[in-house]
Structure 1
Amino acid sequence: MRKHYADTPHGQIHYIASGTGDPLFLLHQTPRSSDEYRDVIPLVSDNHHVIAMDTLGFGASDSPDEPWTIELFAAGVLALADSLNIQQFDIVGHHTGGVVGIEVAASNPQRVRSLVLSGVPYVDAERRRKVALGPTIDGVPLSTDGSHLKQLRQKRAPFYPLDRPDLLDRLLVDALKVGARVEEGHQAVNNYRMEDRIESVYAPTLILCGELDTFSLPDVPRLVAHLRDSRQSILPGTGVPSVDHKPDQFAKEVLRFLDSLAAQ
Structure 2
Amino acid sequence: MKIKRAFLDTEDGQIHYRIGGEGKPLLLLHRNPSSSNEFQDLMPIFAETKRVIAMDLMGLGDSDKPPRIYSVADYAKTGIMLLDELGIKTTSILGHHTGAYVGAEVAAAYPDRVDKLILCNVDDFTEEQKAAIANRYYQVFQIKPDGSHLVERWSFRAQYVGSTELNHLCMLDEAKCYGYPPYAPLAFINYPYLERFRLIQCPTLVLSGTEDIKGLVKLGLAQAENRNFIKQVIPQAKVIDIEGGTFCMMHQQTQEISRVVLEFLDVL
TM-score, normalised by the number of residues in structure 1: 0.90
- Letter paired with 2:69: P
Q: What secondary structure does 2:198 align onto?
A: helix
- Letter paired with 1:139: Q
Residue 12 of structure 1 pairs with residue 14 of structure 2? yes
Within a 5 Å distance, the mapping from 1:56-205 to structure 2 comes to 56-123=58-125, 127-133=126-132, 136-137=136-137, 139-140=139-140, 141-158=142-159, 160-161=160-161, 163-181=162-180, 183-205=182-204
Q: Could you list the runs of 5+ residues in structure 1 that have no partner in the other structure?
A: none
Q: Hey, what's the Cα distance between the residues in 2 that align with 1:99 and 1:118?
A: 9
1:114-168 Cα shifts (integer Å, max 9, x gaps) = 1100111224xxx22223246604732311111111222344344x24x313222
Cα 1:121–1:157 shift into 2, 3 Å: farther
Q: What secondary structure does 2:136 align onto?
A: coil
- Letter paired with 1:240: F
Tell me the CA shift for residue 111 of structure 1.
Answer: 0.5
Tell me the CA shift for residue 24 of structure 1.
Answer: 0.5
Residue 209 of structure 1 pairs with residue 208 of structure 2? yes
Q: Name the counterpart of 2:53.
A: 51
1:158-217 Cα shifts (integer Å, max 9, x gaps) = 4x24x3132222111111112323633223223211122111111111000111112375
- Letter paired with 1:190: I
Q: Hey, what's the Cα distance between the residues in 1 that align with 2:238 and 2:100?
A: 15
Paired residues of 2:250 and 2:257 also in contact (CA < 8 A): yes
Q: What secondary structure does 2:48 align onto?
A: coil
- Letter paired with 1:244: H
Q: Hey, what's the Cα distance between the residues in 2 that align with 1:179 and 1:65?
A: 16
Q: Hey, what's the Cα distance between the residues in 2 that align with 1:205 and 1:182?
A: 32
Q: Hey, what's the Cα distance between the residues in 1 that align with 2:15 and 2:157?
A: 27
Paired residues of 2:106 and 2:114 also in contact (CA < 8 A): yes
1:245 to 244, 252, 258: 252
TM-score, normalised by the number of residues in structure 2: 0.89
Q: Hey, what's the Cα distance between the residues in 1 that align with 2:114 and 2:78?
A: 15
Q: Name the counterpart of 2:30.
A: 28
Paired residues of 1:213 and 1:239 also in contact (CA < 8 A): yes
Q: Hey, what's the Cα distance between the residues in 1 that align with 2:157 and 2:76?
A: 26
Q: Hey, what's the Cα distance between the residues in 2 that align with 1:218 and 1:171?
A: 28
Aligned residues: 256
Paired residues of 1:138 and 1:156 also in contact (CA < 8 A): no
Q: What secondary structure does 1:144 align onto?
A: coil
Q: What secondary structure does 2:139 align onto?
A: coil
Q: Could you list the runs of 5+ residues in structure 2 that have no partner in the other structure?
A: 217-221
1:57-106 Cα shifts (integer Å, max 9, x gaps) = 11111221111321221111111111111110010000000010111111
Q: Hey, what's the Cα distance between the residues in 2 that align with 1:69 and 1:131?
A: 14
Larger CA deviation: 141-150 vs 20-29:
141-150
Q: Hey, what's the Cα distance between the residues in 2 that align with 1:183 and 1:10?
A: 17
- Letter paired with 1:78: I
Cα 1:133–1:236 shift into 2, 3 Å: closer
Cα 1:206–1:219 shift into 2, 3 Å: farther
- Letter paired with 2:237: S
Q: Hey, what's the Cα distance between the residues in 1 that align with 2:54 and 2:14?
A: 14
Q: What secondary structure does 2:212 align onto?
A: coil
| Percent identity between the two aligned chains | 32
Q: Name the counterpart of 1:256.
A: 263
